[in-house]
Amino acid sequence: MKARLPQGYGGGGAQNLQQLARQAQKMQDDMAAATEELNAKEYEATAGGNAVKVVVSGELEVKSIDIEPEVVDPDDVEMLSDLIIAAVNEAIRAASKDKDETMEKISGGLNLGAMGGLF
């Protein structure tokens, strides 16, 4: 007795697999291009009413820190430190959010698990 596959399941398996492989390769290429573009971007954040301005790269490296002279108080170094930390963290959050949103658009919301860390 010969088994029959339900309609739509016969043949074309290799073709479907090739199509899936092409789609995966395109997604990988798109993610690589997006990662390169995101890494080249810069993200700016301020704290203390623009008293401290920080710029980080898409690779999450601090590029610059600008401090207004009036917030440099030798008797209150802790406040200046807090403003710098706040601005750096906000710039990093902006870069991370941009990367997450871009990758989600490319992947169509797929959970890529460990593969997501490759990009």
Q: CA angle 86-92-94, nearest 5°?
A: 105
DSSP code per residue over 46-66:
EETTTTEEEEEETTS-EEEEE
Tell me how many domains the chain contains.
1
At 119, is the pLDDT very low, low, confident or very high (cuts 50, 70, 90)? very low
Residue-wise pLDDT for 83-95, tens only, equals 999 999 999 999 9
Enclosing domain of residue 36: 15-107
Residue-wise pLDDT for 7-55, tens only, equals 655 556 677 888 888 888 999 999 999 999 999 999 999 999 999 999 9
CATH code for position 45: 3.30.1310.10
In a domain, 64, yes or no: yes
Q: Which of 59, 65, 67, 50 is nearest to 92 (CA)?
A: 59
pTM of the full predicted structure?
A: 0.70
At 100, is the pLDDT very low, low, confident or very high (cuts 50, 70, 90)? very high
